[in-house]
Chains A and B, each alone.
Chain A
Amino acid sequence: MNPFPYSDEAISENELMFAIPSTIMGVSILSLPRKLALDTLYSDGWISLLLAGVFFAILAVIGTKVASKFPNQSYFSYASTLVTKPVAIGIVIIQIILFIGLSAFSIRSLAYISQQYLFEHTPMEVISLSFLLVVVYAVSGSRAGLFRLNVMFLPIILIVTIIIAVFNITWIDLKNFLPLFKTDMKGYIKGFQTSFEVYIGYSIVLFYVGLVNKPKKLTKKVIVGMSIPIISYIFIFFVTIGIYGNMVTANIELPSLGLAKRVDIPGGIFERIDTIFFTIWTMAIFNTASMLLDVAVLLITSIFKQIKKRIVTFILAPIIYYLVMLPQEIHQVQTASILLSQFMAYFTMVLIVSLFVIASIRGVGKNEKKS
């Protein structure tokens, strides 16, 4: 018996609100300005970022609407109601693979970057294994605990990001922003597509809305949650472009970390703040990786109800480790993760829209019970 019901396994609305940006913002933010700068001219990338962000925010809201039609039901069970069980199993299996893959690739990217930035001699295998073990430790604990971790880490991450940006403001050259709107339509669309991969985490609403305890203003919270990464991305993009200009940004591998490099702490206690920034950013990548893995675990346990969550996590761990170590070169990782995330973006897009359409046409869910 628990004297404090709030500490039960249920997730609160606010925790979901924190979880959305935590899942979305991960490794991709480090290279995002470069990719956008490649696709668009001058500072125009923000338009693609914003449009993609709004687009996915709308999708997230639609997903929330679908999921909240079936309160206290798992994703698998309401998907089965909507599209029959065999189809739902197929969809869920595809999603499990996608989430496991994305989780693995984010771990691999982290290991790669930390090898670049923090230590050269430690083997990649050890770096990624240690990180994976921490992720497994988190996921094998309680799910509410995982959400609480998001709540605890996100403010730290955002504050550090803002500090980095603020320290850089003096370096911004306004000439770098101008001229505006020079990109052609093709460039915008390309940028729009590139932005897909930084927003894919939004689809967690599909899986977690059912677990939210007493939702009241869920849509609003989801919108707030979605706007945090949109604003942070645009903010970071602007600062990077403002400092480096489009050309340089397009040629730096991780421009966001480059920002941190320029920070000079008055008093000179530390140099090379990018190390600290990246260390803090490890927490963001941890949040992403653990949430993605948790989704996979959640989906598996929703199909195989008799298997315990902890056991699923332990079974998945070696598979993920194999996936992490599978690509030989970092380029392969990048290509694979771009492919995966593009596929996932389209897949989820179609999925959410069709679920919504089916739910509306058939009128199932909460509305049905009322009438």
Chain B
Amino acid sequence: MVRSIMNRRKRKKNSQPQQHKYPQNLSKQLTSNVNNLKQILGEPHDLKIRQLKLGEGNITCAITYIDGLVDSKTVQVSILANLENAKQLPTEGKELFQHIYNKLLSVIHVEKGKTLDEITLPLLSGSTLLYIDGVETALIVDTSGGEMRSIEEPVTETLIRGPREGFIENLQTNLAIIRRHIKDPNLRFKTHQTGRRSKKNLVVAYVDGIVNPALVKEVERRLQSIDIDIVLESGYVEGWIEDSFLSPFPQIMNSERPDKVVAALMQGKVAILLEGTPFALLMPINFSNILQSAEDRYERWIIGTLLRGLRYFAAFLSIFLPALYVSLLTLQPGMLPSMLAFSIAASREGVPFPPLIEAFMMLFTMELLQEAGARLPQTIGQTIGIVGGLVIGEAAVQAGIVSPIMVIIVALTAISNFAIPAYSIAISFRIIRFGFLFASGIFGLYGIILAYIMVNIHFVNLKSFGVPYSTPFAPFFKRDFHDVIVRSPIHQIKDRPEYLQPQDTVSMDNQGEKK
């Protein structure tokens, strides 16, 4: 609803975006073509133009490309060398053009472009243009390349056991990595262009025959509604197409692990990959997805199940622990066994603040430390750990500002939070933790349960691309439970998740034949 209001307001402004379009046709004159190009780009020094005369007819032609975007070896070996070494070239422009197009370029992908519009975008994406004097068409030779990061282990999601490769900023490489995992001809990559100015390629990936076709349609419909000038990171796309931007919970998962993306595709989800970022988007998701790690399936099922249980427990601690501690201390002291109550009371002797303020201060410091640690360069990053450890652990207790037990509570909370596999959900937990803390400070356990009910109300109303966030608990899908709380043995997981309504519901062909 809020979104529609915002859209309405936007429409009122009614400022038409300035379109930079050049539908102008190329001219026959080579010099004017080159000059036009220079003019459009503002004569940058990374625009390289090499003019050469070809054949007996001495026809001028020009090779232009943007330095750094192209693979210069390809330009030299497959274009320039071929042109220079060619013999018996036609003397007339058009024939020469056809000859070059058909025979001389040892590059796989060559196109023809007739308008300035058609040629500038490929040029800016790393293609090389070949103009020939007297021909109104330019050849667009795909030579894209240039420097890129090599494939490394993903930094944000490390596993003990599992593939060591992560996505990189190059889209083609990322797609290739996915292809290497799924050699199914039904794997689909649909390319879109996003950003009025950035014109980045964005690929919607899914496996045809598994995915629910209506889901793909919905994803594409939302993608087409994107209207911004630049899409820097997949977060821009996520922010545009997610269901509820007011929710603290992510409705789209991001990952830089190809194996995670592949697993999701095989379940019947849709992935979005964007040029220039290693983070792929996965949708739709529900709450149970968020606490699952890719590694759950790589370890044996008992270990996977237990670790998953541990993670659920960690999530519980991460949200509730400070709130529970505060409520037990302030409003429900009778619930603690007397010995424990005494030892806590003794440790709190001299602490000048009520537990709520104490907990808030410590949690806030913890947040500061985390943020500072993330922003600092890695070499200094360790210092913050030492400083933080000293500040939180030793000095604060010694100074009598906080009780040692509070330090334990905050440390436990922070550690539990690190055990949550996805950063995007871990950060949501950090937000709602404060909500729970204040609720318990005011109402004790009653406040915690009210806050819990509220989170649940939010969950049942929240949707991710039409999938309720509370699936498979409610709406209840019995068969999906083989991979929610318990990670069943691999050979027991016969069905793809029912909440995704996949076309092909069974992931095993022989045992699990459709009834």
Contacts and interface: CB of A to CB of B under 8 A. Distances in A.
A362 to B, nearest CB: 37
Contact of B460 (A134, A141, A269, A283): A141
A4 B334 contact: no
B445 A151 contact: no
Q: Which of B217, B448, B457 has the most CB of A within 10 A?
A: B457
Contacts of A282: 446, 449-450, 453
Interface string A277-299: 00110110010000000000000
B61 interface: no
Interface in A114-171: 114, 118-119, 122, 127, 130-131, 134, 137-138, 141-142, 144-153
Contacts of A268: 337
Assign chain A's interface to a size class.
35 or more
Q: Which of A138, A148, A271 has the most CB of B within 10 A?
A: A148
Contacts of B217: 1, 3
Given A7-B468, A145-B460, A118 B332 contact: yes
A224 B73 CA distance: 75
A3 B465 contact: yes
A15 B445 contact: no
A270 B474 contact: no
A118 B445 contact: yes
A62 interface: no
Nearest to A1: B218
Contacts of A149: 453, 456-457, 460, 474
A272 interface: yes
A130 B443 contact: yes
Contact of A153 (B444, B450, B456, B461): B456
Contacts of A283: 449, 453
A40 interface: no
B124 to A, nearest CB: 35
B501 interface: yes
Nearest to B270: A3
A6 B500 CA distance: 10
Q: Which of B212, B336, B476 has the most CB of A within 10 A?
A: B476
B489 interface: no
B475 interface: yes
B215 interface: yes
Contact of A275 (B214, B218, B335): B335
Interface in B346-374: none
Contacts of B473: 151-152
B443 A122 contact: yes
A151 B214 contact: no
Interface string B186-220: 00000000000000000000000000101101100
A2 interface: yes
Contact of B470 (A14, A127, A148, A279): A148
Contacts of A2: 214, 218, 466
B476 A151 contact: yes
Contact of B336 (A1, A114, A270, A286): A270
Interface string B468-507: 1011011110000000000000000000000111000000
B223 to A, nearest CB: 14
Given A1-B221, A119-B443, A7 B475 contact: yes
Contacts of A144: 460
B59 interface: no
Contacts of A114: 446
B442 to A, nearest CB: 8
A5 to B, nearest CB: 8
A134 B450 contact: yes
Given A275-B332, A275-B445, A141 B337 contact: no
Given A3-B218, A269-B337, A275-B334, A14 B476 contact: yes
Contacts of B215: 3-4
B454 interface: yes
Assign chain B's interface to a size class.
35 or more
A282 B439 CA distance: 15
Interface in A1-45: 1-4, 6-7, 12, 14-15
B446 A279 contact: yes
Interface string A184-221: 00000000000000000000000000000000000000
B334 A272 contact: yes
Contacts of A325: none
A91 to B, nearest CB: 31
Contacts of B467: 4, 7
A303 interface: no
A151 B474 contact: yes
A340 interface: no
A333 B463 CA distance: 39
Given A1-B218, A3-B217, A145-B460, A271 B336 contact: yes
A279 B449 contact: yes
B457 A134 contact: yes
A150 B456 CA distance: 10
Contacts of A7: 463, 466-468, 471, 475
A275 B392 CA distance: 33
B461 A279 contact: no
A219 B466 CA distance: 30
Nearest to A152: B474
A276 interface: yes
Interface string A291-331: 00000000000000000000000000000000000000000
A7 B221 CA distance: 19
17 contacts: A1-B214, A3-B501, A4-B212, A7-B466, A118-B443, A118-B444, A119-B331, A119-B443, A130-B450, A141-B457, A142-B460, A147-B474, A152-B460, A271-B334, A276-B335, A282-B453, A286-B453
Interface of B: 212, 214-215, 217-218, 221, 331-332, 334-338, 443-450, 453-454, 456-457, 460-461, 463, 465-468, 470-471, 473-476, 499-501
Q: Which 10 A-B pairs have the closest CB atoms?
A: A3-B214, A148-B474, A151-B474, A145-B460, A148-B460, A3-B215, A4-B466, A2-B466, A141-B461, A145-B461
